[in-house]
Amino acid sequence: MIILSIFFHHLTLYYNNLNRLYIEFLYDNNIMIDIYIITIVIVSILYYSIVKERSELGCYRISIDRQCDDDESVYVKNTKMEKNDNCEDLLQRMGSIVSYHEKGGVWKRCIIIATICVAVIYVVYNMNSKFDNIYHYLILLLLLFTLLYFYHNYINYHHFRRLKNNGIEILNQIKNKCYK
């Protein structure tokens, strides 16, 4: 009788351990499934953001040759003065220039920059997982500064410079044509 009691006791312990292992297995697999789903969603959003941002920048193909036409981007399009523009056309073009920030979705640029920042942080952290030195933070600061500086210079060169030149040309024409 004692042997039978010990046998059932060990069988119960074995069953409980097996049940615990099965629950942990299911829990770990659910976490993996969650990670895969989250990764697929984030990659899909990032891909959509990149494709949409490229089309808004006037890029319609991926090739070795010149890929983008800055004058065809949604930010610069229809801001260049044409020869036969009347005063109303010039004012509309000027309105288009000053409404730069309303033309494109800022969220796309933010998700792209945030993803690049996370990738930079991941790489720097994996180079040395102990962030116990101020120099690691300095390297991270310099890398993120470089990324943001490049981004702003890209926007300034490709958009604001053209918009400024188009705006000055339109203002001079308005001055000469509309307010004589």
- 96 with 12, same domain: the answer is no
pLDDT given at position 1: 53
Q: What is the pTM of this model?
A: 0.63
Q: Which of 92, 56, 61, 54 is nearest to 74 (CA)?
A: 56
Tell me the two tokens of residue 55: 């089309």
Q: Which domain holds residue 98?
A: 69-180
Same domain, 39 and 84: no
% of the chain residues with pLDDT over 70: 77
Residue 79 CA to residue 64 CA, distance in Å, equals 28
pLDDT score recorded for residue 73: 79
Q: Which one of 56, 77, 98 terminates a domain? A: 56
Same domain, 77 and 144: yes
Does residue 49 lie in a domain region? yes
Whether 122 and 173 map to the same domain: the answer is yes
* 63 is a domain residue: no
Provide the domain count of the chain: 2
CA atoms within 13 A on the CB side of 110: 4
Question: Residue range 40-61: average pLDDT?
Answer: 84
- pLDDT tens digits, 76-87: 788 888 888 888
Domain membership flag for residue 64:
no
8 has pLDDT over 60: no
